[in-house]
Amino acid sequence: MSLQVQQLTKIYGGQKAVDNISFSIQKGEIVGFLGPNGAGKSTTMKIATTYLPPTSGSVWVEGINVEERPIEVKKVIGYLPEHNPLYLDMFVHEYLQFVGSVYGLKGSNLKTRVQELVEMCGLTREQNKRIEALSKGYRQRVGLAQALIHSPQVLILDEPTSGLDPNQILEIRKLIKDISREKTVIFSTHIMQEVEALCDRVIIINKGKIVADDLLENLLRENASLEEVFRSFTNTVAA
């Protein structure tokens, strides 16, 4: 299993943000992780990426327990948070070199990998600009590039197309599709078209609990659209 979640619970104060959930994701799967705002998506992702400790339960990434060996987990996982924190005063290539060096890349290997990511993520013309000068679409590309710099086996993307215009969404969707061919990908989104275009499988979480987990084709077999599926499991219309 690339990602395994067992009886995971996270409590803030007296509120269960994540309530005893379990699921596993096989190597090479592209999984849409859906749910209304506050359902527990980001909390689950932050635990899987070692940024939050669970209250109880366990998460393994590539067979590594996230609580016991967080540094080892970071080596095999790429993460794009919802709000994409970037050092805005750095140049694109400079920032990617910095992130690569944090992961232990050096010398010609680092230079080659940065150039590969610049080309892969469509940043060639932007690489000598400061990040603060980039549009949101290009900042998302930089965020994806930093998540990929160390060639992770598992990619976790939290709302990767949030706030983008339709053209930018199409560009980021194509980029995710291209880079996911050899990786396990789980991403959250409120855009159902993203899931239909990219995903093999859908997990829906509502009020901290998993309410659906199936192949996309199975969920659509008896429903007209994924929007209808989402509404039936959450009584909520996707944003």
Average pLDDT of the chain, as a whole number: 92
Confidence of residue 187 (pLDDT cuts 50, 70, 90): very high
Alpha-carbon gap, residue 239 to 222, rounded angstroms? 22
Amino acid of residue 120: M
Quick: pLDDT tens for 78-93.
999 988 999 999 999 9
Q: What angle do CA 232, 235, 239 make, to 5 degrees?
A: 100
Q: Cite the DSSP H helix spans in 86-239.
A: 92-102, 107-120, 136-148, 166-179, 192-198, 216-221, 226-234
Task: Sort 43 into a burial class: Cβ within 10 Å, 0-12 / 13-18 / 19+.
Answer: buried
pLDDT in tens, 100-159: 999 999 999 999 999 999 998 989 999 999 999 999 889 999 999 999 999 999 999 998
Choices 3.30.2130.10, 3.30.1370.140, 3.30.565.10, 3.40.50.300: CATH for 3-234:
3.40.50.300
Q: Tell me the three state secondary structure of residue 141.
A: helix
pTM score of the predicted model: 0.91
Q: How many CB atoms lie within 10 A of CB 5?
A: 24
Q: How far apart are CA 121 and CA 232, in angstroms?
A: 36
CA 200/CA 28 separation, integer angstroms? 10
Domain residue ranges of the chain, discontinuous segments joined by +: 3-234
